[in-house]
C-alpha cells in the first residue's frame, strides 16, 4: 500500500511518439519461417514501428515530452525532475535523462534512467510519486521510451517480430484532493526470471568483444513459453490484488492499462479481474511490444481520442524481464 504524504500525485498531461515507418507482419513472412496468421493469433500484433538506424531513443522521448508540454501549456523550464524508464538508453552513460535535459534545455531539472524492462514505466512512475507526495517537487516528467529495434536480432523469429519502437510521457503534479491521482502501487521483482529473458552482452560481466558480437549477446533473448506462463500469472495476480486491497469491483474500474506483450496475456488479466475487453486499453496490434513505452502510449492515445474522463479509475499493470511486475491504481484528475 502506498504511504501517502502531504499530497497525492496526479497525471496532468500526456504525450507520445511513434516513428512513421510501419513494419507489417508480411515483412517477416518474406525472409523468415513465419506467417501473418501465426503472429496475429499467437500475439495479437499486426504491425509495429521502427525508428531509423542512426536515431536514438532520446529522439522519441523528446517528441513525447514536447507534446506533453504543449498539451499542458507550459515550458520545459518548469520541470523539476525527469525519470526515464528504458532498456535501450542512447548509450550506457551519460543517462538518457541527461541527454533529454540537454536537448530540451531543461535547466531546472535533474533526472535519471530507471531500468526495469517492461515494467520500466510503472517502476519509474512509482518512484516519481514519492517526490510529489513529499512536497519536494512540483512538476515531474516520467517517460517510457524504447528503441527495441536496436537490440532485436532480425534473424530470430522467436523475438524479432514481437518488438517495436515508441515513447510515451506523463506529467505528475501534486493535488491536495486525495480522492484524485495515484491511489495505490504494488511492485515486485524476482531475479530467478533472469535466465528466461535477458540481454547478456555489454555489461561488466560480458563487456563488448568479438565473442559477444559473434554469439549475438547484444540482442534480446527470450524463452517465450516460460515467460508467457509467468506473465499471465504475475500480471493477473497483481491486478486482482490491487482491486482487492482497494475494495474495487469490476464495475468500479474504467480501464485496465496493461503492458502490451501479448494479447493473450492481456485477455487473461482482464478475465481474472472480471472486466470486459472494452474496458482494456490495447494498442499492441499497431505497435507490438514497445517495452517501457506500452503503458504511457496507451494512456496518451486514449486521452487524445477523448476516451478518458475525470474520475475514471485506471489500473496500470505490467510484467517483464527481471522478473519485474506490478500494478498502479489511479483516479484520473483532469
Ligand atoms: O514483455 C516482456 C514479457 N514478455 C512476454 O510477456 C512474452 C511472453 N511470451 C509470448 O508472448 C509467447 O510465448 C510468444 C509469442 C513469444 C510465443 O508464443 P507461444 O504460443 O508461446 O509459442 P511457442 O513458443 O510455444 O511456439 C509454438 C509453436 C512452436 O512450434 P511447435 O513446436 O508447436 O511445432 C514454435 O516452433 O510455434 C512455433 N513458432 C513459430 N511459428 C511461426 C515459434 N515462433 C514462431 C514464429 N512463427 N515466429
Element at 165 (helix H, strand E)? strand 165-175
- Residue 322: is its pLDDT beyond 80? yes
Domain regions of the chain by residue span: 8-179, 182-331
Mean pLDDT of 225-248: 97
Indicate which residue of 118, 160, 269, 298 is catalytic: 118
Q: From the CA of 221, how far away is ligand 1's center (Å)?
A: 13
Question: What cell was used for 51?
Answer: 525508428
Indicate which residue of 25, 98, 160, 259 is catalytic: 259
Phi, psi of 121 (to 5 degrees): -70, -45
Active site residue 289: yes
Give Cβ neighbours of residue 293 (< 8 Å, ≥ 6 apart).
Answer: 16, 60, 121, 144, 145, 146, 166, 167, 168
Question: What cell was used for 202?
Answer: 555489454
Does 225 contact ligand 1 (Cβ within 6 A)? yes
Active site residue 259: yes
pTM, two decimal places: 0.97
Q: How many CB atoms lie within 10 A of CB 167?
A: 33
pLDDT of amino acid 3: 65
Are the C-beta atoms of residues 172 and 140 closer than 8 Å to each other? yes
CATH annotation of 182-331? 3.40.47.10
pLDDT of amino acid 1: 56
Q: From the CA of 139, how far away is ligand 1's center (Å)?
A: 42
Per CATH, 8-179 and 182-331 having the same topology is answered yes
pLDDT of amino acid 178: 93
What is the best residue among 222, 224, 291 to mutate for testing ligand 1's pocket, by most ligand atoms within 8 Å of CB? Answer: 224
CATH annotation of 8-179? 3.40.47.10
Element at 142 (helix H, strand E)? strand 140-147
Does 289 contact ligand 1 (Cβ within 6 A)? yes
pLDDT digits (tens, 9 = 90+) for 256-278: 999 999 999 999 999 999 999 99
pLDDT digits (tens, 9 = 90+) for 191-221: 999 999 999 999 999 999 999 999 999 999 9
Indicate which residue of 137, 160, 289, 298 is catalytic: 289
- Residue 2: is its pLDDT beyond 70? no
Amino acid at each position: 500500500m502506498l504511504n501517502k504524504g502531504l499530497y497525492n500525485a496526479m497525471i496532468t498531461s500526456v504525450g507520445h511518439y511513434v516513428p512513421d515507418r510501419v513494419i507489417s507482419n508480411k515483412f517477416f513472412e518474406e525472409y523468415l519461417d513465419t506467417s501473418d496468421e501465426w503472429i496475429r493469433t499467437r500475439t495479437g500484433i499486426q504491425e509495429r514501428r521502427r525508428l531509423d538506424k542512426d536515431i536514438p531513443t532520446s529522439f522519441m522521448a523528446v517528441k513525447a515530452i514536447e507534446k506533453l508540454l504543449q498539451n499542458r501549456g507550459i515550458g520545459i523550464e518548469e520541470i523539476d525532475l525527469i525519470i526515464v524508464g528504458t532498456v535501450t538508453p542512447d548509450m550506457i552513460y551519460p543517462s538518457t535523462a541527461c541527454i533529454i535535459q540537454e536537448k530540451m534545455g531543461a535547466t531546472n531539472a535533474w533526472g535519471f534512467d530507471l531500468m526495469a524492462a517492461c515494467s520500466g514505466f510503472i517502476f519509474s512512475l512509482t518512484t516519481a510519486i514519492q517526490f510529489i507526495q513529499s512536497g519536494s517537487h512540483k512538476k515531474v516528467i516520467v517517460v517510457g521510451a524504447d528503441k527495441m529495434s536496436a537490440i532485436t536480432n532480425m534473424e530470430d523469429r522467436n523475438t524479432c517480430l514481437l518488438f517495436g519502437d515508441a515513447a510515451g510521457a506523463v506529467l505528475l503534479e501534486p493535488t491536495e484532493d486525495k480522492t484524485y491521482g495515484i491511489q495505490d502501487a504494488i511492485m515486485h521483482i524476482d531475479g530467478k526470471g533472469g535466465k528466461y529473458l535477458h540481454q547478456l552482452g555489454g555489461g561488466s560481466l560480458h563487456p563488448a568483444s568479438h565473442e559477444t558480437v559473434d554469439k549475438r549477446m547484444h540482442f534480446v533473448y527470450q524463452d517465450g513459453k516460460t515467460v508467457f506462463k509467468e506473465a499471465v500469472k504475475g500480471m493477473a495476480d497483481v491486478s486482482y490484488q490491487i482491486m482487492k486491497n482497494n475494495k474495487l469491483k469490476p464495475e468500479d474500474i474504467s480501464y485496465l492499462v496493461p503492458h502490451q506483450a501479448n494479447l493473450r496475456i492481456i485477455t487473461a488479466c482482464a478475465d481474472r479481474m472480471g472486466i470486459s475487453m472494452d474496458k482494456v486499453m490495447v494498442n499492441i496490434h499497431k505497435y507490438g511490444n514497445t517495452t517501457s513505452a506500452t503503458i504511457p502510449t496507451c494512456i496518451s492515445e486514449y486521452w487524445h481520442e477523448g476516451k478518458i474522463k475525470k474520475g475514471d479509475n485506471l489500473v496500470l499493470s505490467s510484467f517483464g524481464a527481471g522478473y519485474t511486475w506490478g500494478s498502479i491504481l489511479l483516479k484520473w484528475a483532469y
